[in-house]
Amino acid sequence: MRHRKHNHLLGVKTAHRISLLANLSCSLIENGRIKTTLAKARALRPTIEKVITLAKKAHVATDAAQKVHYRRLAIARLRNKKAVKKLFDELVEQFVNRNGGYTRIYKLAMPRLGDAADMAIIEFVEDAPKKKTKKKKASNKKPVEETKKTPDPEQSVSEETESDGEVPEETSNETVADVASEATDSGDATDAEEPGDDATESEAEAKEDSEPESQTDVAEDDAGADTGEAVEEEAEETESEAKEDSEPESKEDSDSKDEETTSKD
């Protein structure tokens, strides 16, 4: 009888279907999770779980010939030695304590755009080990310098003080030589200018001494003359006031005397 022999045909011929499932199995072993149609995911599940069972039997077996036998059976189904080696050497340890149910299927909500086929994700129940990242070769190039940060005021002040305190030897020697040459030049210039300067200073002092004395004498004479005139004017004013005071009194006395004489008569 042909009972239950019509499952997961996928609409293709037998050879095509066997190759398709082998390729999907290898992709699942290499990546740990793949995205495909829901029908292919359901067809892939029994195929990959049977290969995992072979890997578990080889892991438990003690006979080397038996291990090789199971490995050859897996290669006949998957047709990829690298995928079989990874499954038998690395991934089998994840499934040693699990009795079946090695894969999980998630149905996706969004169908495929081309033909609206239902999509799904199939993955191993246990986390697959991550691929080893290749170490980058150390390049001889120097790392790029980081962008300069905004300097802090305290750091800038300290840097300025350090820069002021530290003077290169070459510059210090040059400055010392320059200062010495300037000092010699200035000494010669002052020596050449000293006699003339002394003569001019002495003449100026003599003129200043002579001028203030004459000016002070003239000022004192003028002040004395002004004071004498002021005294004379004051004396004349007092005399004229005294005369004015005496004249009205004499006139009044004469008038009073005339009145008395007229009354007696």
Q: What residue ranges in the chain does DSSP mark as E strands?
A: 33-37, 103-107, 119-124
Please spell the DSSP secondary structure of 192-232, one letter per residue.
Answer: HHHHHHHHHHHHHHHHHHHHHHHHHHHHHHHHHHHHHHHHH
Q: Where are the domains of the chain?
A: 14-124, 195-265
Query: Between vectors from CA 176 to CA 171 and to CA 180, what angle results, nearest 5°?
Result: 150
Whether the model pTM is above 0.95 = no
Amino acid at 78: L
Task: Report pLDDT digits (tens) over 112-141.
Answer: 999 999 999 999 997 545 566 666 666 666
**According to the model, what pLDDT value does residue 246 have?**
55
Q: Is the pLDDT of residue 67 over 90?
A: yes
Lowest mean pLDDT among 20-29, 98-107, 208-217: 208-217
Terminal CA-CA length for the chain: 206
Residue 26 structure tokens:
């290898």
Distances (CA, A) of 207 to 196, 197, 215: 17, 16, 12
Residue 166 has phi, psi (to 5 degrees) of: -90, 120
Of residues 66 and 7, which shows the higher confidence score? Answer: 66
Q: Which CATH superfamily is domain 14-124 in?
A: Ribosomal protein L17 (3.90.1030.10)
Contact criterion met (CB below 8 Å) for 122 and 41 = yes
Contact criterion met (CB below 8 Å) for 33 and 108 = no
Q: What is the DSSP letter of 90?
A: T
Secondary element (H or E) of residue 68 = helix 64-78
